[in-house]
Amino acid sequence: SNTKKRADVPVAGPVEGLDWLPSAPGEQLCNLVGRWRILQRVGSHRWTTDDLVTAYCAATALSASFSKVDACGRENGRVINYLDLGTGNASVLQMVSWHILSHGSATGVTDLRGVGVEARSEAVGLACRSLSFNLGNVE
């Protein structure tokens, strides 16, 4: 057969200031939502439709629970804190964050703090690097 296989082109280590750049064999920077991207490894955990549905349900519930104006008609700045246990490569955490940040003015959200908890160091590294691409340097 005349079929060519796709070959990943590794980068020779991290590039200064571009921590999110795929730097290990098998890493891919993939579309996630809007202009947000996610680093994933070929043959490892990757975001799926289940993640999309979970993020949609969480973002919808969070958005519905906040109103821009309180019962007395005063502007109501809102802070959202949320936790994603077993976050993996943070696909759900990032999709929920994107939704809240994209619709923040409509919901009155003034501050967003999401925390992902994950046991696998490889997934944590990919999640942090994806967040750096989407939000800038994060800790």
* Single-letter amino acid, residue 106: A
- For the stretch 62-96, pLDDT in tens is 777 665 555 666 555 677 788 999 999 999 999 99
pLDDT at 116: 94
pLDDT at 130: 92
82 is written with which tokens? 């949320």
What is the β-pairing status of strands 109-117 and 78-85? parallel
> Which among 39, 33, 46 is positioned nearest to 8, based on CA atoms?
39
pLDDT at 61: 83
- In Å, how far are 31, 40, 46, 123 from 89, measured between CA atoms? 13, 7, 8, 5
pLDDT at 98: 92
3-class DSSP assignment, residue 86: coil
pLDDT at 8: 41
Per-residue pLDDT of the chain (139 residues; tens, 9 = 90+): 444 443 343 444 445 566 677 777 888 889 999 999 999 988 887 888 999 999 999 988 877 766 555 566 655 567 778 899 999 999 999 999 998 888 766 666 667 888 999 999 999 999 999 998 888 765 5
State the alpha helices, DSSP H only, in the chain. 49-64, 91-102, 104-107, 121-135
State the alpha helices, DSSP H only, in 31-90. 49-64
pTM of the model: 0.75
